[in-house]
Amino acid sequence: MSLVRTSLAAGLALLAQLVLPRAAGADVTVASHAGDTLLLHRASADKIDKLYEERGKGVVAYAFTDAKTLWVLRKAGAGYTIGKVVDSKAEAARPVTLQMATPGNEVPSGFDVTPGLIATKSGQVLVTTCLQIADKANADGTMACELGYTRVDDGSSAFGKTRPKDVVFVFGTTKTPRPTPLKKPPKGYTVKITRTKLKSGQTYTGYTCTGPDGKLKTWPTESDQVLEAVMTPAVNKATWLSESPAVVHIEANGVSPVKEKLYQEWFVVDCSTELTSVRALRDGLWLTDDTLRKPTGEVIGKLPGDAFVLAP
């Protein structure tokens, strides 16, 4: 729980993305899903074209191995299948037998044991499964899984407990590298880490961003509501990422009363709009939440869905 922050983009999904080296001038192919629909789009400097759409087939996770091949893990009844979409056409899926924990047995009842998908630099694709609760917890103090790995790209379904060394993509986790931070703020812009006293009498560390023509964005304001304030980390870092549009990355870190690590991040564009994600794609294109923009900040269009993954 945290201070309630209002912004023009509140509630939009956080993106999960992968960027690998690409040939200059090539378009960007993006996979996403909206509800039970899997989508493929091609994004370029002036338009977004839909390449593929799949409805109601239980998509769970997906990963690219090259610019034309998307591997897709799907739920099928009580089990799972693995298949490919190649050149925007779905190939026949096959059942895959997975070793995984059962809630109420190896893991507590209600524990999420949904399998995942990873890809390696050498082209391997493996389904990851939770086998049991690991001895060591996650960094945030939550229970972690001991993972199993089932290889599916070669049809062998070979199982092991050792994570491949050359993993380059993990569905739901991998993000694009952020742009190299600017050495100085864009002309006319400043951002400061500030202390604000709220109407409740409590004081919090947030930020104030100011820009040309009176642009101003502050968090928190004195009227922001407080929800279990001890779970709200303090802003401690602000990094400028781009001059046009002017983008600053805000980070907040802390430790809860029960010693859990707390972390929040958000992005402020032009000292006016707060977003959950800003990613640099290629050739100056930007993906701000679900909106594709030109280098100037102009909107090209929206990419539907979430869990965005970019093809190499």
Residues 263-276 pLDDT 10s: 888 899 899 988 88
42 and 150 inside one domain = yes
- Quote the pLDDT of residue 178: 67
Contact 149, 137 (CB under 8 A): no
Give the number of other CB atoms < 10 A from CB of residue 230. 14
- Quote the pLDDT of residue 66: 93
- Of 123, 140, 170, the last residue of a domain is 170
Contact 8, 273 (CB under 8 A): yes
> What is the pLDDT confidence band of residue 225, given thresholds at 50, 70 and 90?
low
Residue 71 lies in a domain: yes
Residues 45-92 pLDDT 10s: 889 999 999 999 999 999 999 999 999 999 999 999 999 999 999 999
Higher-confidence position of 28 and 6: 28
Residue 233 lies in a domain: yes
Q: Which of 84-88, 119-123, 142-146 is predicted least confidently?
A: 142-146
Predicted TM-score of the model (pTM): 0.75
86 and 204 inside one domain = no
Q: What is the mean pLDDT of residues 143-172?
A: 94
Residue 78 lies in a domain: yes
Token pair for 257: 């009363």
Contact 33, 75 (CB under 8 A): no
166 and 199 inside one domain = no
Residue 7 lies in a domain: no
> What is the pLDDT confidence band of residue 177, given thresholds at 50, 70 and 90?
low
4 pLDDT above the threshold of 50: no
145 and 202 inside one domain = no
> What is the pLDDT confidence band of residue 176, given thresholds at 50, 70 and 90?
low
204 and 85 inside one domain = no
Q: What is the mean pLDDT of residues 222-231?
A: 58
The position carrying tokens 């893991």 is 107
- Of 137, 170, 203, the last residue of a domain is 170
Which whole-number Å values give the CA distances from 274 to 12, 75, 175, 187, in the listed order? Answer: 11, 36, 19, 20
Token pair for 31: 């996979």
34 and 133 inside one domain = yes
Residue 247 lies in a domain: yes
> Hey, what amino acid is at 112?
D
Q: What is the mean pLDDT of residues 210-216?
A: 93
Mean pLDDT score of the chain: 84
What distance in Å separates the CA atoms of residue 65 and residue 85, rounded to the nearest whole number?
11
Residue 290 lies in a domain: no
Under DSSP, the state recorded for 214 is G
The three-point CA angle 183-242-187 to 5° equals 65
- Quote the pLDDT of residue 45: 85
Residue 183 lies in a domain: no
Contact 119, 64 (CB under 8 A): yes
- Quote the pLDDT of residue 140: 65
Sheet of 216-219: strand order equals 190-197, 203-210, 216-219
226 pLDDT above the threshold of 60: no
126 and 60 inside one domain = yes
Range of the domain at 101: 28-170
Please report, rounded to a whole number, the percentage of residues in the chain having pLDDT higher than 90: 51
> Hey, what amino acid is at 299?
V
51 and 116 inside one domain = yes
264 and 138 inside one domain = no
Under DSSP, the state recorded for 107 is B
- Quote the pLDDT of residue 11: 28
The position carrying tokens 């790995």 is 149
> What is the pLDDT confidence band of residue 97, given thresholds at 50, 70 and 90?
very high
Residue 305 lies in a domain: no
61 and 152 inside one domain = yes
227 and 160 inside one domain = no
What total number of domains does the chain contain? 2
252 and 197 inside one domain = yes
